[in-house]
Structure 1
Amino acid sequence: MSGPVLVIELAEAVPRGSVRRLREFLVRSSSRFAEKRVGEYDLNIHAESLGIADTGGVDGRRPVVVSLVGPGLGDEAVFEAEHADEVGQEVLIGFTPTNAVDVIAFCDKPVDHVVTALLTAAVMDVIGGVANVELREDQVPIVDGLAGIVATMTDPWPAAYGSAEFLRAWARQPGFRLLK
């Protein structure tokens, strides 16, 4: 079963030192860690390592993939496909993304939505970037006033761009849930 997905937009390829620090963080925070290629990690993240105490009665080890994509990182075709419909990002976030990081949960329990948001924020703490979050229409007013919000849009689909602070603030909102 697939779960929520978040994307971190990057203005440039991630330096090797930052990739190394990201890998070290993920190894420390995981009960299972597999490196498919440099910058692509298949893991079971410890929810507790992200500050999540309530896992809703499910195992706190949540399956996730973290994948750096784009020129110089790998999976260039994935980056191109994901960004084919993205227009005008420079106006919204101040740059046109050249690379990205995909954070993909493999389960869809409420804890997986929180894990995805907080893991994405933790990855951003290491490598920077701006989170690109697709929303339901009714979520736009909720996120619009949160700390760390960079921009929201409703056309061609509802979305928000924000910092790690934004993701953490949103994950604390009652009924928090990411759109797949």
Structure 2
Amino acid sequence: MSGPVLTIELAESVPHAVVQQIRKLLLRSSAQFEEKRFGEYDLSVNAESLGIADTEGTDGHRPIMVSLMGPGVGDEAIFDAEHVDQGDQQHLLGFTPTHAVNVIAFCSSTVDHVVTALLTAAIMDLTGGVANAELAADQVATVSELPGVVAVTLGSWPAAYGSAEFLRAWAEQPGFRLLK
């Protein structure tokens, strides 16, 4: 079963030193760590390392992939494909994304959603950028009022764009759940 995905939109490539900081963060947060390529990691994130009590009767380790994308980093074709339908994001974000970081959970329990949000926020503390989160129609009103929201788009595929502060505030909301 696949789980939620968050994307960090970036205005430029992530400097090598920052990628090393991300790597160290992921190593500290994970019981299992595999570097697939520079900037792409398969993890078994320990929920407690992010301050999350795993009450779902599991071992507390959540399967996650973190992948930097864009020119000179890797997965350029995936980056291009994911951004072709988003049009010009300059008016929403204040920049046109050239790179991104995807944080992908491989399970979809409540804990996986919170781990995905808080791990993404921790990565954003290092990279900056703007989180891109798809929304269900009934989530638009809730997220629009949260701190750190940069923009909310409506229509057939609503989305929220925001800071690490936004992700942390949203994860604290009752019934929090990422769309995908």
Q: Report TM bin, short chain.
A: over 0.9
Identify the residue that residue 77 of structure 1 maps to in structure 2.
77
Identify the residue that residue 15 of structure 1 maps to in structure 2.
15
Structure 2, gaps ≥5 residues long? none
What is the CA–CA distance in structure 2 between the aligned matches of 1:111 and 1:135, rounded to whole Å? 18
Identify the residue that residue 143 of structure 2 maps to in structure 1.
143
Identify the residue that residue 49 of structure 1 maps to in structure 2.
49
How far residue 87 of structure 1 moved from its aligned partner, in angstroms, is 1.4
Structure 1, residues 63-110: CA drift from partner, whole Å, max 9, x if none? 000000010110100100111111131101100000000000000111
Matched length: 180
Identify the residue that residue 97 of structure 1 maps to in structure 2.
97
What is the CA–CA distance in structure 1 between the aligned matches of 2:45 and 2:29, rounded to whole Å? 6
What is the CA–CA distance in structure 2 between the aligned matches of 1:2 and 1:111, rounded to whole Å? 14
Does structure 2 conserve the Cα–Cα contact (< 8 Å) formed by 1:47 and 1:61? Answer: yes
Q: Which runs of 4+ in 1 moved over 3 A?
A: none
How far residue 55 of structure 1 moved from its aligned partner, in angstroms, is 3.4
Does structure 2 conserve the Cα–Cα contact (< 8 Å) formed by 1:47 and 1:55? Answer: no
TM-score with structure 2 length normalisation?
0.98
Task: Work out whether 1:166 is the aligned partner of 2:166.
Answer: yes
- Tell me the amino acid that sits aligned with residue 37 of structure 1: R
Identify the residue that residue 24 of structure 2 maps to in structure 1.
24
Structure 1, gaps ≥5 residues long? none
Structure 1, residues 36-70: CA drift from partner, whole Å, max 9, x if none? 00000000011011110243222211000000001
Task: Work out whether 1:153 is the aligned partner of 2:153.
Answer: yes
How far residue 156 of structure 1 moved from its aligned partner, in angstroms, is 4.8
- Tell me the amino acid that sits aligned with residue 91 of structure 1: H
> What secondary structure, in the 3-state scheme, does the structure 2 residue paired with 1:72 have?
coil
- Tell me the amino acid that sits aligned with residue 82 of structure 1: E
Q: CA RMSD in A?
A: 0.9
- Tell me the amino acid that sits aligned with residue 121 of structure 2: A
